[in-house]
Structure 1
Protein backbone atom coordinates (compact mmCIF):
# COMPACT_ATOMS: atom_id res chain seq x y z
CA UNK A 1 0.00 0.00 0.00
CA UNK A 2 1.29 3.46 -0.90
CA UNK A 3 1.97 5.93 1.85
CA UNK A 4 -0.14 9.05 1.55
CA UNK A 5 -0.83 12.42 3.01
CA UNK A 6 -4.44 13.54 3.23
CA UNK A 7 -5.34 17.21 3.49
CA UNK A 8 -8.88 18.41 4.01
CA UNK A 9 -9.79 22.01 3.32
CA UNK A 10 -12.60 24.53 3.07
CA UNK A 11 -12.19 27.41 0.62
CA UNK A 12 -8.42 27.51 1.01
CA UNK A 13 -5.49 25.63 2.42
CA UNK A 14 -4.12 25.94 5.91
CA UNK A 15 -0.73 24.82 7.19
CA UNK A 16 0.92 21.77 5.71
CA UNK A 17 3.13 20.81 8.63
CA UNK A 18 3.08 21.97 12.20
CA UNK A 19 6.20 22.17 14.27
CA UNK A 20 7.82 24.23 16.99
CA UNK A 21 10.28 26.99 16.19
CA UNK A 22 13.00 24.97 17.90
CA UNK A 23 12.30 21.88 15.79
CA UNK A 24 12.07 23.96 12.59
CA UNK A 25 15.47 25.49 13.34
CA UNK A 26 16.92 22.06 14.06
CA UNK A 27 15.58 20.62 10.79
CA UNK A 28 16.90 23.51 8.69
CA UNK A 29 20.20 24.02 10.51
CA UNK A 30 19.50 27.42 12.04
CA UNK A 31 21.69 28.41 14.99
CA UNK A 32 20.52 29.79 18.35
CA UNK A 33 20.67 33.40 17.13
CA UNK A 34 18.25 32.63 14.27
CA UNK A 35 16.12 30.52 16.60
CA UNK A 36 15.77 33.36 19.10
CA UNK A 37 14.97 35.84 16.33
CA UNK A 38 12.34 33.54 14.83
CA UNK A 39 10.78 32.91 18.24
CA UNK A 40 10.58 36.69 18.79
CA UNK A 41 8.93 37.12 15.37
CA UNK A 42 6.31 34.46 16.16
CA UNK A 43 5.59 35.88 19.63
CA UNK A 44 5.20 39.39 18.18
CA UNK A 45 2.69 38.04 15.64
CA UNK A 46 0.68 36.33 18.37
CA UNK A 47 0.61 39.56 20.39
CA UNK A 48 -0.41 41.67 17.38
CA UNK A 49 -2.31 39.45 14.92
CA UNK A 50 -3.08 42.37 12.61
CA UNK A 51 0.62 42.99 11.97
CA UNK A 52 2.44 40.94 9.32
CA UNK A 53 4.47 37.97 10.54
CA UNK A 54 7.66 39.36 8.99
CA UNK A 55 8.20 43.09 9.29
CA UNK A 56 9.78 45.03 6.44
CA UNK A 57 13.13 44.94 8.25
CA UNK A 58 12.98 41.14 8.62
CA UNK A 59 11.81 40.36 5.10
CA UNK A 60 15.15 40.65 3.33
CA UNK A 61 17.01 38.35 5.74
CA UNK A 62 14.25 35.77 6.06
CA UNK A 63 13.28 36.08 2.40
CA UNK A 64 16.82 35.05 1.49
CA UNK A 65 16.60 32.08 3.84
CA UNK A 66 13.25 30.97 2.38
CA UNK A 67 14.50 31.40 -1.21
CA UNK A 68 17.64 29.38 -0.47
CA UNK A 69 15.66 26.60 1.21
CA UNK A 70 12.48 26.75 -0.92
CA UNK A 71 12.71 23.24 -2.37
CA UNK A 72 13.63 21.71 0.99
CA UNK A 73 10.79 23.60 2.69
CA UNK A 74 8.26 22.36 0.13
CA UNK A 75 9.46 18.79 0.36
CA UNK A 76 9.36 18.93 4.16
CA UNK A 77 5.93 20.63 4.21
CA UNK A 78 4.28 18.22 1.82
CA UNK A 79 6.20 15.01 2.39
CA UNK A 80 8.56 15.18 5.34
CA UNK A 81 8.27 11.41 5.46
CA UNK A 82 10.04 10.41 2.25
CA UNK A 83 7.86 7.33 1.82
CA UNK A 84 4.76 9.45 1.13
CA UNK A 85 3.82 8.80 -2.47
CA UNK A 86 0.35 10.31 -2.81
CA UNK A 87 -1.25 13.64 -1.92
CA UNK A 88 -5.01 13.52 -1.49
CA UNK A 89 -6.94 16.78 -1.27
CA UNK A 90 -10.50 16.61 -0.02
CA UNK A 91 -12.71 19.66 -0.51
CA UNK A 92 -15.20 19.53 2.37
CA UNK A 93 -17.52 22.03 0.68
CA UNK A 94 -17.98 20.06 -2.54
CA UNK A 95 -16.97 16.56 -1.34
CA UNK A 96 -14.53 16.34 -4.23
CA UNK A 97 -11.39 14.26 -3.77
CA UNK A 98 -8.29 14.94 -5.85
CA UNK A 99 -5.39 12.47 -5.87
CA UNK A 100 -1.88 13.39 -7.00
CA UNK A 101 1.43 11.58 -7.18
CA UNK A 102 3.72 13.27 -4.65
CA UNK A 103 6.68 13.35 -7.06
CA UNK A 104 4.49 15.18 -9.57
CA UNK A 105 3.28 17.64 -6.93
CA UNK A 106 6.80 18.44 -5.76
CA UNK A 107 8.10 18.85 -9.31
CA UNK A 108 5.40 21.39 -10.22
CA UNK A 109 5.33 23.59 -7.13
CA UNK A 110 6.69 27.10 -7.52
CA UNK A 111 9.60 28.12 -5.34
CA UNK A 112 8.76 31.83 -5.64
CA UNK A 113 8.76 33.47 -2.22
CA UNK A 114 6.38 36.35 -1.52
CA UNK A 115 5.37 37.96 1.74
CA UNK A 116 1.62 38.44 1.89
CA UNK A 117 -0.63 40.27 4.33
CA UNK A 118 -1.38 37.21 6.43
CA UNK A 119 1.54 34.96 7.15
Structure 2
Protein backbone atom coordinates (compact mmCIF):
# COMPACT_ATOMS: atom_id res chain seq x y z
CA UNK A 1 0.00 0.00 0.00
CA UNK A 2 1.33 3.43 -0.93
CA UNK A 3 0.89 6.53 1.17
CA UNK A 4 -1.61 8.99 -0.21
CA UNK A 5 -1.44 12.76 -0.11
CA UNK A 6 1.45 15.11 -0.79
CA UNK A 7 2.84 15.00 2.76
CA UNK A 8 3.05 11.22 2.57
CA UNK A 9 5.92 11.33 0.09
CA UNK A 10 7.80 13.60 2.46
CA UNK A 11 7.30 11.05 5.24
CA UNK A 12 8.44 8.21 2.98
CA UNK A 13 11.61 10.09 2.06
CA UNK A 14 12.24 10.93 5.72
CA UNK A 15 12.09 7.21 6.47
CA UNK A 16 14.51 6.67 3.60
CA UNK A 17 16.96 9.27 4.95
CA UNK A 18 16.78 7.57 8.35
CA UNK A 19 17.39 4.18 6.72
CA UNK A 20 20.45 5.54 4.94
CA UNK A 21 21.81 7.08 8.14
CA UNK A 22 21.31 3.84 10.10
CA UNK A 23 22.96 1.77 7.36
CA UNK A 24 25.93 4.13 7.19
CA UNK A 25 26.21 3.98 10.99
CA UNK A 26 26.23 0.17 10.92
CA UNK A 27 28.68 -0.07 8.05
CA UNK A 28 31.05 2.47 9.59
CA UNK A 29 31.28 0.21 12.66
CA UNK A 30 32.20 -2.95 10.71
CA UNK A 31 35.93 -2.41 11.14
CA UNK A 32 35.49 -1.81 14.89
CA UNK A 33 33.72 -5.17 15.28
CA UNK A 34 37.01 -6.91 14.40
CA UNK A 35 35.21 -9.64 12.49
CA UNK A 36 32.28 -9.63 14.93
CA UNK A 37 34.58 -10.63 17.79
CA UNK A 38 34.04 -7.44 19.84
CA UNK A 39 30.64 -7.46 21.56
CA UNK A 40 29.55 -3.81 21.78
CA UNK A 41 30.69 -2.66 18.35
CA UNK A 42 29.00 -5.77 16.93
CA UNK A 43 25.75 -5.05 18.80
CA UNK A 44 25.79 -1.43 17.61
CA UNK A 45 26.60 -2.45 14.03
CA UNK A 46 23.79 -5.00 13.87
CA UNK A 47 21.36 -2.57 15.53
CA UNK A 48 22.17 -0.05 12.81
CA UNK A 49 21.42 -2.62 10.11
CA UNK A 50 18.18 -3.74 11.74
CA UNK A 51 16.99 -0.15 12.14
CA UNK A 52 17.98 0.55 8.54
CA UNK A 53 15.85 -2.30 7.20
CA UNK A 54 12.89 -1.38 9.41
CA UNK A 55 13.01 2.21 8.14
CA UNK A 56 13.56 1.09 4.54
CA UNK A 57 10.50 -1.17 4.79
CA UNK A 58 8.45 1.85 5.85
CA UNK A 59 9.91 4.04 3.09
CA UNK A 60 8.85 1.65 0.34
CA UNK A 61 5.24 2.20 1.30
CA UNK A 62 5.54 5.57 -0.45
CA UNK A 63 8.52 5.20 -2.78
CA UNK A 64 8.93 2.61 -5.51
CA UNK A 65 11.10 -0.28 -4.31
CA UNK A 66 13.69 0.08 -7.08
CA UNK A 67 14.01 3.82 -6.59
CA UNK A 68 14.18 3.54 -2.79
CA UNK A 69 16.80 0.80 -2.94
CA UNK A 70 18.88 2.72 -5.49
CA UNK A 71 18.86 5.80 -3.29
CA UNK A 72 19.56 3.77 -0.13
CA UNK A 73 22.45 1.80 -1.58
CA UNK A 74 23.87 4.59 -3.75
CA UNK A 75 23.92 7.35 -1.16
CA UNK A 76 25.04 4.88 1.49
CA UNK A 77 27.96 3.83 -0.69
CA UNK A 78 28.94 7.43 -1.37
CA UNK A 79 28.76 8.25 2.33
CA UNK A 80 30.86 5.23 3.32
CA UNK A 81 33.54 6.10 0.75
CA UNK A 82 33.63 9.63 2.21
CA UNK A 83 33.77 8.34 5.80
CA UNK A 84 36.49 5.86 4.86
CA UNK A 85 38.60 8.66 3.41
CA UNK A 86 37.94 11.12 6.24
CA UNK A 87 38.18 8.86 9.28
CA UNK A 88 39.64 5.48 8.30
CA UNK A 89 42.62 6.72 6.27
CA UNK A 90 41.41 5.04 3.09
CA UNK A 91 42.74 6.61 -0.10
CA UNK A 92 40.54 8.50 -2.54
CA UNK A 93 41.49 7.39 -6.03
CA UNK A 94 40.29 8.44 -9.45
CA UNK A 95 38.66 5.02 -9.82
CA UNK A 96 36.69 5.53 -6.57
CA UNK A 97 35.58 9.01 -7.62
CA UNK A 98 34.46 7.75 -11.03
CA UNK A 99 32.69 4.77 -9.47
CA UNK A 100 30.79 6.86 -6.93
CA UNK A 101 29.93 9.38 -9.65
CA UNK A 102 28.45 6.59 -11.78
CA UNK A 103 26.44 5.33 -8.80
CA UNK A 104 25.06 8.82 -8.13
CA UNK A 105 24.28 9.23 -11.84
CA UNK A 106 22.39 5.94 -11.77
CA UNK A 107 20.37 7.00 -8.73
CA UNK A 108 19.49 10.31 -10.40
CA UNK A 109 18.50 8.49 -13.59
CA UNK A 110 16.22 6.10 -11.69
CA UNK A 111 14.63 8.99 -9.82
CA UNK A 112 13.95 10.95 -12.98
CA UNK A 113 12.58 7.84 -14.68
CA UNK A 114 10.52 6.89 -11.62
CA UNK A 115 9.10 10.41 -11.27
CA UNK A 116 8.05 10.43 -14.91
CA UNK A 117 5.84 7.38 -14.30
CA UNK A 118 3.71 8.93 -11.53
TM-score, scaled relative to structure 1:
0.25
Does 1 or 2 have the higher relative contact order (CA < 8 Å, sep 6+)? 1
